[in-house]
A and B are shown apart, each in its own frame.
Chain A
C-alpha cells in the first residue's frame, strides 16, 4: 500500500503559473485526475513522476522524494502521454528491456506476465512501428507494469484507444485498484473518469478545484442547485409542501401532452432537502415512487467547476 503526497506544490514557467499551491494525497485504489486541457494535469503528473521539480512544495511517495531519486522507480510505474517508444524494437523486446533496466531476476518471465496482463501476447513479436495507437498505449502499459509497481501513474491513457480497448483498460485499472495499488490517471474526458474512478481530483486553471468521490464533490457545491425528478401518488400536494421549505428553490409539475407526470424540482440545499423530503411525504401521506437526480453526472460537476 503506497501513498503519494503532494504538499503545497506550485510550478511556474517564468511568469506563467502551471500549478498553483496544490495539496492532495493519493492513496490505494483508482484516482482520476480530471480537468480540461491546460489545467496543469500533465505538469502535476510530471512532478509525481519525478520528471519535473516543483518550484515550491514537495511531492513524495511513501515519504520518499521523487525528484532526483531514481530508486523511487522500484515502486512507481509510469505510462507517459507521449506516444514515442523504441519503435525499432518489437513489443516483447521493449518490455524485456524495461524489465532488465529494473534489474529483475527473470526479465523474460516478467515481460511475458506483463504482456499477457494487457493481452498483447499475439502481437508481442511485431515491431512497435507497426502498432496502432491503442496497441502502443498497451505496450507502454506492459512496460510500466513489468516490475509490479505499487504506484501506477498514467497520463491520458485512453487517448487513441478504440471502445473495446478502452473498456479493457478500464477493467484493468479497476482490477489494479482492487489489488491495492495506487493508480492515478489523468483525463479531460468525463465519462472515462466517471466509469473507472470513484475518487476524483479536479484541476482547473492550475488549482486543485475539488477532491473526493463524485457524489461528495457534487454535494460540496451547496451554492449550486441540485435537480431531481420525483414521482409520487400526489405530485401536486408534495410540490406545494416542498415549495414552502427553504431547501427547495423551485418545483414544476410535469403535465401536458406527452408528459408522464412527476415533479421537476430544484433543491438549493442538498443536505436539508434529503432530510426534509421523506419527512414531508410521510407527514402528508404522499407515497414516493421515484426520486431521480437528473444532473448527477460528472458532466454537470465539471461544467460547474470550469465555469466558476
Chain B
C-alpha cells in the first residue's frame, strides 16, 4: 500500500462529509458570499475598493478558512471522536496515505465551495476585470489548501479541533491580522492577500515578499501534512477504561 492516495479513503471521505450537518454549511457559506457580492454590486456598482474589501474581508478572511475548517475537521475529527478511524488504522495502509487521501477530499471541497465561488463573486463584482476574480481565486486556493493542512494537524492533536480552529481563524487571522502589522509574517490570509495583490494589481495589504508568501504557504502545507501522518502513526485510541 505504497500509493500516495487511496481511492477507498477518498470515496469514504467524500461520503462522510456530505452525510453530516457540516455538508449543508458547505453549500450555505458560498451562497452567502455570492449573495452578498450580488448585493454589493447592485447597491454600489462596479467599484474596485468595495469589491476588494468584500472579497478580502468576507471571502479570504472568513469564508475560505471556514470552508477549509468544515471540510478538514469533518473528515478526521468525527472519526477520531467515535473511534471509527480504527477501521482505517487497523490496515496496512500508510498513515501518510490516509492523511493525503483525506486532504484530497478537503482540497476538492475548498476548490468547489471556496475557490469557484470566489471566482464567481469576483466576476459578479468586477466583470470588467477578470484578473481581479482570478487573483482572488488563486489566493483562496493557496490559503484554502494551507488551512486544510493546519486544521488536519489540529484534528489529530486535539479533540477540540473545531473550537480551536475557529478561535485561530477569528482571533489570529481575523482580528490580530488586521490590527498588528507584524502578524503578516505568520498569517495565512496575509500571505494569500499578497498573492491576490500581485495577480490583480491591488493593494489589499502591506507589502510582503511574494516569494516569502509562496514558500511559507508551501512549508505549512508540507509540514502540516507530514506531521499529521506522523501523529496518526502514533495515534492512541483507547476505550472507556
Chain A residues with CB under 8 Å of chain B are 18, 37-38, 40-43, 46, 49, 51-53, 67-68, 70-71, 73-74, 76-78, 80-82, 84-89, 94, 97-98, 100-103, 143-144, 155
Complex Cα–Cα for A293 and B156 (A): 54
Contacts of A86 in B (CB 8 A): 12, 15-16, 84, 87
Report which of A43, A78, A100, A144 forms a contact with B241, defined as CB distance below 8 A.
A43
Report the count of interface residues on B (CB-CB < 8 A): 32
Known A70-B93, A70-B94, A97-B12: A42·B234 in contact at CB below 8 Å? no
Contact A52 B84 (CB under 8 A): no
Contacts of A74 in B (CB 8 A): 92
Complex Cα–Cα for A70 and B233 (A): 8
Contact A76 B90 (CB under 8 A): yes
Complex Cα–Cα for A86 and B234 (A): 22
Report which of A37, A51, A53, A71 forms a contact with B89, defined as CB distance below 8 A.
A51
B235 at the interface (CB under 8 A from A): yes
Question: Across the two chains, which residue of chain A brings its CB closest to B94?
Answer: A70
Contact B241 A51 (CB under 8 A): no
Report which of A46, A71, A144 forms a contact with B238, defined as CB distance below 8 A.
A46
Complex Cα–Cα for A70 and B95 (A): 8
Complex Cα–Cα for A23 and B7 (A): 41
Contact B241 A88 (CB under 8 A): no
Contacts of A51 in B (CB 8 A): 86, 89, 235-238
Known A38-B241, A42-B238, A70-B95: A84·B89 in contact at CB below 8 Å? no
Report which of B12, B19, B91 forms a contact with A70, defined as CB distance below 8 A.
B91
* In the complex, chain B residues 223-241 whose Cβ is within 8 Å of any chain A Cβ: 233-241
Complex Cα–Cα for A46 and B86 (A): 11
B179 at the interface (CB under 8 A from A): no
Contacts of A68 in B (CB 8 A): 233-234
Q: How far is the CB of B211 from chain A (nearest CB, A)?
A: 37
Contacts of A144 in B (CB 8 A): 90
B1 at the interface (CB under 8 A from A): yes
Contacts of A94 in B (CB 8 A): 87
Contact A81 B91 (CB under 8 A): no
B9 at the interface (CB under 8 A from A): yes
